[in-house]
Amino acid sequence: MKTLITYFSAERRTTAKIAKELASMIDADIFEIVPEEPYTAADMRWPNPLARCNREKIGNKDVPVAGKIENFDEYELVIVAFPIWYGAAPNVVNTFCKGYDWSGKKIAAFATSGGSGIGKTAEKLKPFVTGGEVLDAILVHSVTEVKDWLDKLIK
Ligand SMILES: Cc1cc2nc3c(=O)[nH]c(=O)nc-3n(C[C@H](O)[C@H](O)[C@H](O)COP(=O)(O)O)c2cc1C
């Protein structure tokens, strides 16, 4: 199954590390979801009510993404990876998803977090991947966990 791994990662590059390890393990293509305006440490300081992350979340704002995947049509399975922000995918991931036609594609999501569980992440992603089928979402701490989950999911 032709597979693309897309990921957003900001604070400590935790998600990036796992996404890259997975890509080389399963020989998948990879695309980093980078905001047009990258996040600074101050942007992510959520205890500050005026921080960018809070303004985007409260305002339900779109966060434009740099670059475009030209051959998106070719992929049958798209893995979407991100850190949990406020119990869900960060807004930039939702904006990314809205920018593509997901018809006929299978979608699997994995996330890292500071302690929260995966919650309703899969359900919350569905409105942004119109036409696609969200298979599952999992919270992970290592690439081994992702690989085991994926093997069961698409066997
Ligand atoms: C704005 C913001 C909101 C966050 N919200 C949550 C949350 O709701 N639950 C949680 O467990 N961790 C939360 N975190 C922590 C991240 O999910 C965690 O540090 C993640 O592993 C970071 O991955 P990264 O290094 O790939 O960016 C939040 C972090 C930020 C910056």
Which residue ranges form the domains of the chain, and what is each CATH number? 3-153 (3.40.50.360)
Rounded distance between C-alpha atoms, residue 64 and residue 13, angstroms: 20
Specify the pLDDT at position 38. 96
pTM, rounded to two decimals? 0.97
| Mutational test site, ligand 1, from 7, 8, 11, max ligand atoms within 8 Å of CB | 11
129-149 pLDDT, tens digit per residue, is: 999 999 999 999 999 999 999
- Judged against a pLDDT cut of 90, whether residue 155 lies above it is answered with no
Ligand 1: residue whose CA is nearest its atom 6: 85
The kind and range of the H/E element at 32 are: strand 29-32
Q: Are 35 and 94 in contact (CB under 8 A)?
A: no
What's the chain's average pLDDT? 97
81-99 pLDDT, tens digit per residue, is: 999 999 999 999 999 999 9
| Mutational test site, ligand 1, from 33, 93, 113, max ligand atoms within 8 Å of CB | 113
